[in-house]
Amino acid sequence: MPVSKRWGARPCAPAGGKLHKIRKTTASETTVTYTPAELMTVNAARLLRDGDVVFVGVGLPNLACNLARRTHAPRLTMIYEAGVIGAQPARLPLSIGDPTLVSGAAAICSMYEIFAFYLQRGLIDVGFLGGAQIDRFGNVNATVIGAYAHPKVRLPGSGGSAEIAAWANRTYFITPHQKRRFPEKCDFVTGAGFLDGRAARIASGVRGGGPQAVVTDLGLLEPDEAGELILTALHPGRSVEDAVANTGWPLKVAPNVRTTAPPTEAELRLLREELDPRGIYLKGAA
């Protein structure tokens, strides 16, 4: 049964901000709309490969991973920090400890076992995270805005993101593309990216592969050979100028910037009618 029926909720209007139109590739020539949050989520989900073992973060990463499992990656193994391995939730979990994660899961274990026996042994293909700030070298801040001793804003903190960023073989991020979210240097480093370059990460002894992609509502940032995030893809209707203007450092642009594919009707239906009918995640990303 679709989640919208189970919760007693009607499929809601698209959540997450301004609507954009895309044209169907059919003879009917009708249009479908999507929001920046939906665009981010769909493109984040497409990064995941069938068979990946993913340490799932809260917020939009959670939505993206569940969308991937429902579409092109049915053999995706989702791991949640509370100690759930191979989660197959009947509805979208609202937190890493949501009871719906337990039913149908491959295994349940302690948080210690998740981090020590899975993450630190190198068994996690992907760590999927968000963050308040992501800097030039993919370091992430989820702790404070401003000075640590006298912060302007106190954020929720690391949770498991410090360990995930350090040990996952690939780390992906998803966040809106705003200058305040992309400073040249984070106010505080909660999770290590490439520190101040690939050589610095290697020298630190951190074994994970580091950040491989940042999905925003403008496009995609990926690290170059030095570990610096550069613009490699734009979403439909977005421009290089948009991305540069909303980045806090002189953003480099790849020689051949590609254009991402817009969300399909099937992907949007899953997001709106089954995964997030109340817009709990998508509205929060607006």
b/e map 120-140, b = 16+ CB within 10 Å: eeeebbbbbbbbbbbbbbbbb
For the chain, the residue count is 286
Strand partners, 145: 153
Cα-flanking dihedrals φ and ψ of residue 229, to 5°? -70, 130
Q: Which of 38, 81, 267, 274 is catalytic?
A: 81
Per the annotation, the verdict on 163 as an active-site residue is: no
For the annotated catalytic residues, the residue numbers are 81
